[in-house]
């Protein structure tokens, strides 16, 4: 750990805003897991690597002992208030630039508020599905929708630093890696708009629940069109893999080679070695380290080391993937620094790497690669 200098000025290449409300124990606990349901009877999400990491890194930042009991931590959090807590925590991350995916629902802070609370910079990542929903809200027909969508994507590409898609990678290009034709896109768009309209009518008449029918676009053709619209703009495109095997994206990676748009694979754990392999096979494919480190706590060093096996060091990008709790920003950043120091420091101590190379690679992964890919210095 003492063998490599710490990375200053991290770029968190994928994160979300934090909640503005004061949180009770149960509300806080629910955010420690990405599961849709609560913990099993007799268990708690505090008993996870994420829970233990929060208890390791955060209490000292609020003047408590590391590993203190959750209830005590939450009491102190409420005592300080959400604004002061958020300020203290974000300022302890060492992140100089936040790239914020603003496409999540819920009352989360936006890039400007994060920048202000953290005393750092923040830029926006536009989520394609959320953009499509906004455009649909003001478009009558499929043709209008498609024209407006093209304009919205183009406009977003002027201010945002990247696009992201949470469903596209799983359902779009995995089925067909080529751009869908205009006819099938119009049909798919029409079907989705009609579903939304039916839903809205049902909601107005009280006959149905707004959540039962449509939601964000899920049709493979429509998702494929969203991805290819983003590819046409040239901004980097971040693709959530969820639990899917990154090899499902091999066809899309091949089809987008040489077009000038970089693909960044998010959420590849436990397939991070495959994501790293794919990043080594294609010049325009990059691999995110985010949640794989932030969520695995004491094991982050082992997971990082696996990602470093086949990925060229210029193709790995730090992120926290944090959302809702500033604690998750702290955990993501601390785990990354700690893991990077241990892994690279160990290799330097063994003589496998030179100290100079280790420091250089640490800076690349922590910020340099992201600055280049997202053109942050332009």
Task: Give the 3-state secondary structure of 204-235.
Answer: HCCCCCCCCCCCCCCCHHHHHHHHHHHHHHCC
Does residue number 256 form part of the binding site for its own copies (CB under 8 A)?
no
The two three-digit tokens of residue 375, written as one number: 């053109």
Edge-to-edge strand ranges of the sheet holding 285-288: 10-15, 95-101, 121-127, 162-165, 237-240, 263-266, 285-288, 316-317
Map the footprint of its own copies across residues 40-79, applying CB under 8 A. 40-45, 47-49, 52-53, 55-56, 66-67
Going residue by residue from 269 to 308, which x/- string records binding to its own copies, judged by CB under 8 A? Answer: xx--xx--x--xxxxx----------xxxxx--xx-xx-x
Question: Is the peptide bond between 82 and the residue preceding it cis, with omega within 30 degrees of 0?
Answer: no
Would you give the binding string for its own copies spanning residues 208-247, x where CB under 8 A is met?
-----------------------------------x---x
Q: Quote the CA–CA distance of 159 and 308 in Å, as a whole number.
A: 32
Closest to its own copies by CB, 93 or 277: 277
Answer yes or no whether residue 198 interacts with its own copies by CB under 8 A. no
Strands 285-288 and 162-165: unpaired
**Residue 378 interacting with its own copies (CB under 8 A):** no
Using CB under 8 A, which of the segments 136-144, 155-163, 208-216, 265-273 binds its own copies? 265-273
| Distance between first and last Cα of the chain | 33
Instruction: Determine the Cα–Cα distance for residues 359 and 364; give it in Å rounded to an integer.
Output: 9
Rounded to whole angstroms, the Cα distance separating 5 from 8 reads 9
Among 155, 198, 354, 375, binds its own copies (CB under 8 A): 354
For the window 13-42, what string marks contact with its own copies as x by the rule CB under 8 A? --------------------xxxxxxxxxx
Closest approach, Cβ 264 to its own copies, in A, equals: 12
The answer for residues whose C-beta is within 8 angstroms of residue 153's C-beta and 6 or more apart is 128, 131, 163, 229, 230, 232, 233
Q: Which residues bind its own copies (CB under 8 A)?
A: 33-45, 47-49, 52-53, 55-56, 66-67, 243, 247, 250, 257, 269-270, 273-274, 277, 280-284, 295-299, 302-303, 305-306, 308-315, 347, 350-354, 356-357, 361, 364, 372
């Amino acid at each position: 750990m003492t063998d490599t200098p710490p990375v200053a000025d991290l770029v968190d290449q994928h994160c979300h805003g934090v909640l503005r409300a004061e949180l009770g124990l149960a509300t806080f606990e629910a955010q420690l897991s990405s599961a849709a349901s609560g913990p099993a009877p007799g268990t708690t999400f505090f008993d996870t690597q994420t829970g233990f990491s929060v208890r390791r890194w955060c209490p000292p930042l609020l003047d408590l002992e590391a590993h203190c009991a959750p209830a005590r931590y939450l009491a102190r959090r409420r005592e300080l208030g959400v604004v002061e807590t958020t300020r203290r925590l974000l300022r302890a991350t060492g992140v100089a630039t936040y790239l914020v995916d603003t496409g999540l629902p819920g009352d989360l802070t936006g890039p400007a508020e994060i920048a202000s609370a953290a005393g750092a910079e923040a830029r926006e990542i536009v989520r394609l599905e959320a953009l499509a929903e906004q455009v649909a809200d003001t478009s009558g027909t499929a043709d209008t929708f498609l024209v407006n969508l093209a304009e919205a994507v183009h406009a977003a590409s002027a201010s945002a630093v990247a696009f992201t898609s949470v469903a596209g990678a799983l359902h779009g290009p995995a089925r067909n890696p080529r751009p869908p034709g205009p006819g099938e896109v119009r049909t798919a768009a029409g079907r989705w708009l009609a579903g939304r309209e039916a839903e809205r009518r049902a909601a107005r008449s009280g006959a149905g629940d707004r959540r039962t029918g449509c939601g964000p676009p899920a049709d493979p053709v429509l998702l494929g069109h969203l991805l290819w619209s983003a590819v046409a703009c040239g901004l980097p495109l971040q693709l959530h893999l969820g639990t899917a095997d990154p090899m499902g994206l091999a066809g899309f990676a091949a089809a987008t080679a040489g077009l000038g748009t970089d693909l960044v694979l998010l959420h590849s754990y436990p397939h991070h070695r495959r994501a790293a392999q794919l990043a080594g096979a294609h010049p325009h494919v990059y691999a995110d380290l985010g949640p794989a480190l932030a969520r695995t706590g004491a094991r982050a060093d082992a997971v990082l080391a696996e990602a470093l096996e086949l990925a060229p060091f210029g193709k790995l990008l730090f992120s926290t993937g944090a959302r809702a709790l500033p604690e998750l920003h702290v955990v993501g950043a601390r785990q990354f620094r700690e893991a990077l120091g241990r892994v690279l420091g160990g290799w330097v101590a063994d003589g496998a790497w030179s100290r100079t190379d280790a420091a250089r690679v640490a800076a690349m992964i922590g910020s340099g690669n992201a600055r280049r890919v997202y053109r942050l210095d332009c």
